[in-house]
Chain A
């Protein structure tokens, strides 16, 4: 017998994550993704404005179910995401090494931090109401209660640096409170985002709660910022020029805007609750006493 032919490599097709499914871009476009050293890694889909539109529809459709779920249930699902991420630790560490050029040890720490970040936010799901809500003393025979409510569909421009930890750190605070989101992943390093989508798809997270687009933020983000069915936009990953454009577009329907941070962000630092409170509304109820 002649020697056996070498086995063909089976390579992954990196697609978008919209409504719980993995479609290609409707535009059919893709772009080459390279490692931090410039080596070719894979082709990723280059999402178009129509993919963004579809993602917003999916996020809107998922909103009533997700925001109506109990805080306990949302926390459990975030914890489940952390579990699934932990199970793929080696894969994510390898992808972070490729994307960021960090050492394997450092990459492992970053994946651990991402898992811990999810667990940390999972814990907040049923506590944020106690911190941001209040029983207000009023001059009348009423119980007056304020409680935080999710804003709605939030567009997120993920940070270009920190392809996994940065991404998890912007998605988790948006969804833990009941928002749904459309995320524009880092253009430079989108592969961990799509692998994260595989984790999300297997974590009991309802389809459409998180939608991930890969491609050019400069192309997609303005469409999301101008979209009348998007209620908030997180511009963390937008460069200053894009951030200004998006903020202007976002004014039309009074979106909540989270401006990009000044200077470099240390994603390993304690995040605080600002990212959660940025996309919360306050509902105040007046209830007559004695009825």
Chain B
């Protein structure tokens, strides 16, 4: 790295030179590595630990047009006590809602330690003016959100206007203040792994505290190889700058098996420092029930059924 990171963003051309100077991603290699790590066998006590760790990393999410305050309150109750019949199940890391429902979630979760994350910046498309995005972020922060999930302007990114994307993230980060900022790259729209690596670095240089794969509204959402590329980016970024950035795959993670594959990937790529809810999250909704069913299977020795868990 020839240019110090602070100066990289001085103009679009320096930013472009830096991002395009990042080593290319070997697509076949990344796919093969992710697939290979996905075959690791995690059983018995290790699996128990992994399931509890995964539950503690879940960002329980509802991002539907039909969300109601009642639904959000029900989800918050589940976030605090995922299995009403078993107090040993840890609470999840956070709930993730639209900005207008932040206040509802905050009041439902008071004193529980479960954080409230809010999507902002014209989620999921990100197609609006910067003023609107900053205002939306400020309102969510004012309502009590402790984490903001913003989307990047994929149109600007794909058009090569990296400085615009950078400045937007900086502006949102400023509006966030101390609130944690997660930057959604929407990797399903970035087309190549090289772009994923560039967008990851861009988001980290701009001050993002987390980089997140997807909104969950675009297919493909989170995949193992894309998460691998992002984990390599946060690892290299810490080596270069000393600042640690978290990773959050979101969307399409539905089974315990998937969740454990991600944990293996974290451990083997970024390292055990990231195996903590402060540094790794799983954005999901239906995943939690599968984790609970697996937990119950290990506790009782019989396969669990979805009839015995809440519908969400």
Contacts and interface: CB of A to CB of B under 8 A. Distances in A.
A binds B: yes
Interface of A: 53, 56, 60, 223, 226-230, 249, 252-253
Contacts of A249: 302
B302 A56 contact: no
Interface in B267-312: 301-308
A1 to B, nearest CB: 47
Interface residues of B, number: 8
B43 to A, nearest CB: 12
A87 B302 CA distance: 41
A151 B306 CA distance: 16
A246 to B, nearest CB: 12
A25 to B, nearest CB: 17
Nearest to B304: A228
Contacts, number: 26
Contacts of B302: 223, 226-228, 249, 252
A229 B307 CA distance: 7
* Secondary structure call for the B interface: loop
Nearest to B308: A228
B305 A253 contact: yes
Contacts of B303: 53, 56, 223, 226-229
Interface of B: 301-308
Nearest to A152: B307
Contacts of A228: 302-305, 307-308
A1 B167 CA distance: 80
B47 to A, nearest CB: 14
A226 B306 CA distance: 14
Contacts of A230: 305
Contacts of B306: 60, 229
Contacts of A252: 302
A196 to B, nearest CB: 26
B42 to A, nearest CB: 15
Nearest to A50: B303
A227 B303 CA distance: 5
A221 to B, nearest CB: 13
A229 B301 CA distance: 14
23 contacts: A53-B303, A56-B303, A60-B306, A223-B302, A223-B303, A226-B301, A226-B302, A226-B303, A227-B302, A227-B303, A227-B305, A228-B303, A228-B304, A228-B305, A228-B307, A228-B308, A229-B303, A229-B304, A229-B306, A229-B307, A230-B305, A252-B302, A253-B305
Contacts of A253: 305
Nearest to A223: B303
Nearest to B296: A228
